[in-house]
Amino acid sequence: MVLIIIAGSVAFSQMLAFTQASKGLVDATMGLVVPPIVLIIGMQIILLVLGCFMDLVSIMMITIPIFFPIIKALGFNPLWFGILMLLNIEMGPITPPFGLELFVMKGVAKDIPMATIFRGIVPFFIADLFHVSLLVAVPQISLFLPGLMK
């Protein structure tokens, strides 16, 4: 199943490149009358929701060809957005009620009720949400060490 999703996402990204649909999407996005940070937050919410249902590689293969041209056009650092993207994709599988890793935990700990598993993940989810919010508010936190490598 995962290989079918990856094959489909590769075909999707090739189609976007061939038809130059990414350019049209960037032009449409630049025409919106919203602050760029609202677009970033919207993209992060999309990644979080997709992370509940799909695996990491499939999400990246589908969303990178769509999101990265927009990020470049808005003038944001692609490394910063990549870090945000990975953090949000990793938060998805632990997000109740559809997080895939929560059901894996239920399979391992069969005698623990699902509500207890949901309550147990909340502090970790809140910490991750705070971490992502901090990186959105202060991008230099994630760009400090890579900046030293120049």
- pLDDT tens across 16-73, in order? 777 877 778 778 888 888 898 999 999 999 998 888 888 888 888 888 888 988 898 8
Domain annotation covers residue 47? yes
Angle subtended at Cα 130 by Cα 66 and Cα 109, rounded to the nearest 5 degrees? 90
How many whole angstroms separate alpha carbon 129 and alpha carbon 91? 8
Domain annotation covers residue 37? yes
Q: How far is CA 65 from CA 47, 61, 112, in A?
A: 13, 7, 41
Q: Does the reported pTM lie above 0.95? A: no
How many domains does the chain fold into?
A: 1
- Give phi and psi for 47, each to the nearest 5: -65, -40
Domain annotation covers residue 104? yes
Domain annotation covers residue 45? yes
Does residue 80 surpass a pLDDT of 90?
yes
Domain annotation covers residue 149? no
Average pLDDT across the chain, whole number: 86
Look at residue 130 in the predicted model and tell me its pLDDT: 94
Place of tokens 């945000």: 84
Domain annotation covers residue 14? no
Look at residue 79 in the predicted model and tell me its pLDDT: 92
Average pLDDT for 112-129: 91
Look at residue 17 in the predicted model and tell me its pLDDT: 73
Look at residue 65 in the predicted model and tell me its pLDDT: 83
Does residue 9 surpass a pLDDT of 80?
no
Identify which of 96, 48, 41, 97 has the alpha carbon closest to the alpha carbon of residue 71.
41
Does residue 104 surpass a pLDDT of 90?
no
Look at residue 77 in the predicted model and tell me its pLDDT: 92
Look at residue 101 in the predicted model and tell me its pLDDT: 86
Domain annotation covers residue 21? no
Taking CB atoms within 8 Å and a gap of at least 24, the contacts of 77-84 are 77/139, 77/143, 79/142, 79/143, 79/146, 80/135, 80/139, 80/142, 80/143, 81/40, 83/135, 83/142, 84/40, 84/44, 84/132, 84/135, 84/136, 84/142
**Lowest-pLDDT choice from 75-89, 90-104, 114-128:** 90-104
Q: How many Cβ atoms sit within 10 Å of the Cβ of residue 82?
A: 16
Its domain, for residue 39, covers 32-143
Domain annotation covers residue 5? no
Length of the chain measured in residues: 150
Look at residue 16 in the predicted model and tell me its pLDDT: 75
3-state secondary structure of 71: helix
